[in-house]
Amino acid sequence: MHFTSEQRLDDSVLERAFTLGEIPGILWTPASASASLPLILLGHSAAGLQTMYPRLLARARYAVAEGYAAASIELPGSGERPRSAAVDQARADLHRALQAGEPVTDDIVDRLILPLVDQAVPEWQAALDALLARPEIGGPVGYSGGVISIGTRLAVVEPRISAAVLFAGSFVPRAIFEEARQVTIPLHVLLQWDDEGNDRQMALDLFDAFGSKEKTLHANMGGHTGVPQFAGEEGNRFFARHPK
């Protein structure tokens, strides 16, 4: 983990860009850093870190104000990272199906999401290794938002993640439903009821499939990017209810 830039925001937040091998990332901590902060990993969409930056920063500011460190890394195929022709083809097929009003087939969803999950999950785990090795970060670790299939797999395979806020805002491969049944950590799931690029029934079925005894679904009106501010705050209160 190599820091490439550093700036203080409003004298309250220290923002540091880093690279982890070829993967860019950002770490936010309180400007007056104490030791052993709990950590929230901020997931995001394949739109890329730079495009998502304003929304990530808003979430990071809130997390830091509540006494957490927050961090995010670029997804495979996003930003400046090498693209996958096969995944790009699947994304084009998805958009074509949605625009034509045709059903989104399992095949398209599998080709779009599974390679992303397979590559991204070990990268988030490597980032977690590097972050937890730092003296200012101690854990526990929460995961919040982003591609829900990545959050689901992470919740299953990564025992250091103790709670997750998941955003039901993308199509989910059948194989991930099976993994969802193995999730046991507390979950807080956000759903935009009229998400234009998502299947509402699939999201409800996925919520039902999660094996966690404590899971909450918060559904709000509006499209993919219309999550109300109060819904984000409820997600933060969910982390606050779980032991730091």
Residue 27 phi/psi, 5° resolution? -120, 130
Angle, CA of 64, 119 and 2, to the nearest 5°: 50
Distance of alpha carbon 186 from alpha carbon 227, whole angstroms = 21
Query: Among residues 1 and 231, whose Cβ is nearest to a copy of itself?
Result: 231
| Rounded least distance, CB 155 to a copy of itself, Å | 16
Q: Where along the sequence are the contacts to a copy of itself (CB under 8 A)?
A: 193, 204, 207-208, 213-221, 228, 230-231, 234, 237, 241
Query: Among residues 178 and 208, whose Cβ is nearest to a copy of itself?
Result: 208
Query: Among residues 44 and 188, whose Cβ is nearest to a copy of itself?
Result: 188
Nearest to 143 by CA among 63, 66, 201: 63
| Rounded least distance, CB 216 to a copy of itself, Å | 5
Are β-strands 137-145 and 69-73 bridged in parallel, bridged antiparallel, or unpaired? unpaired
| Rounded least distance, CB 215 to a copy of itself, Å | 6
Q: Which two tokens stand for residue 66?
A: 């509540």
Query: Among residues 93 and 194, whose Cβ is nearest to a copy of itself?
Result: 194
One-letter amino acid at 141 equals: V
| Rounded least distance, CB 48 to a copy of itself, Å | 30
